[in-house]
Structure 1
Amino acid sequence: GDDDDPLDVLILMQEPVDNLSILRVRPIGMMAMLDQGQNDEKIISVHLDDPEYRSFAHIQELPLHRLSELRRFFEDYKKLEHKQVLVQDFFGPEQARETIEAGIDRYNKEFAPSQVS
Structure 2
Amino acid sequence: MTSPYLQLPPTDPKTDTLNVIIETPKGSRNKFSFDEKLLLFKFKNVLPEGSFFPFDFGFLPNTLAEDGDPLDVLLLMDEPVFTGCLVEARAIGVIEAEQTEDGNTVRNDRLLAVSENVRMHKGIKTLHDLPKPLLEEIEHFFKAYNEGMGREFKVVGKHGPPQALKLIRKAAEAYQKKS
- When normalised by structure 2's length, the TM-score is 0.60
Q: Which runs of 5+ in 1 are unaligned?
A: 112-117
- Within 5 Å, which residues of 2 pair with 1:82-97? 82-97=150-165
1:54 to partner: Cα distance: 2.1
Q: Which runs of 5+ in 2 are unaligned?
A: 1-64
> Residue 95 of structure 2: which of 31, 50, 58 is its match?
31
Q: Which has the higher contact order (CA 8 A, sep 6+)?
A: 1
- Within 5 Å, which residues of 2 pair with 1:1-117? 1-36=65-100, 37-111=105-179
1:3 to partner: Cα distance: 1.3
SS in 2 for 1:23: strand
Alignment-mate amino acid for residue 77 of structure 2: M
Compare the two structures and name the one with the higher strand fraction.
2
Write out per-residue CA displacement over residues 32-90 of structure 1, whole angstroms, 9 at most, x where no aligned residue. 11001211111100011110112211110110011101100000000110112212221
Question: 1:26 & 1:2 partners in 2: Cα distance?
Answer: 22
Compare the two structures and name the one with the higher helix fraction.
1
1:27 to partner: Cα distance: 0.1
% of aligned pairs identical? 28
SS in 2 for 1:24: strand
Question: 2:114 & 2:66 partners in 1: Cα distance?
Answer: 25
Alignment-mate amino acid for residue 30 of structure 1: V
Question: 2:147 & 2:74 partners in 1: Cα distance?
Answer: 19
SS in 2 for 1:20: coil
4+ residue runs of structure 1 moved beyond 6 angstroms?
none
1:96 to partner: Cα distance: 0.1
SS in 1 for 2:157: strand
- When normalised by structure 1's length, the TM-score is 0.90
Question: 1:84 & 1:57 partners in 2: Cα distance?
Answer: 29
Quote the RMSD (CA, aligned, Å).
1.0
SS in 2 for 1:29: strand
